[in-house]
Amino acid sequence: MDFYGKLGYLLHVGLIQQKELSFFDYYFERIFRNDIPRIQNGSNDNAIIHYVKVYEFRLFALLLYELNRLPESLKPILPKIEKNK
């Protein structure tokens, strides 16, 4: 998660572009697959999203935000980082 979080930061500040992350598309799609077990705590999060939320992988949440895939449950841990202009 930490590695992907660093990609999210680099994408956010403009040091890489979204098309440069195409190599990782397979892994990003796996995060949201329906066959990943769901957490039985009343939320609709799968185990990966729950793990990200519990251990506060903030930059991973930033990556999902930049890819327009951020679930509502991760919005509270989304960091406030200014973009380079």
Output DSSP code: residue 37: P
Give me Rg for the CA atoms of the chain.
13
* 84 has pLDDT over 70: no
Task: Read off the tokens for 64.
Answer: 């999902």
Q: Where are the domains of the chain?
A: 2-77
Interior angle at CA 53, CA 58 and CA 31, nearest 5: 90
Report pLDDT digits (tens) over 30-80: 888 877 777 776 677 888 888 999 999 999 999 999 999 999 999 999 988
Q: Whole-model pTM? A: 0.84
For residue 23, the model assigns a pLDDT of 93
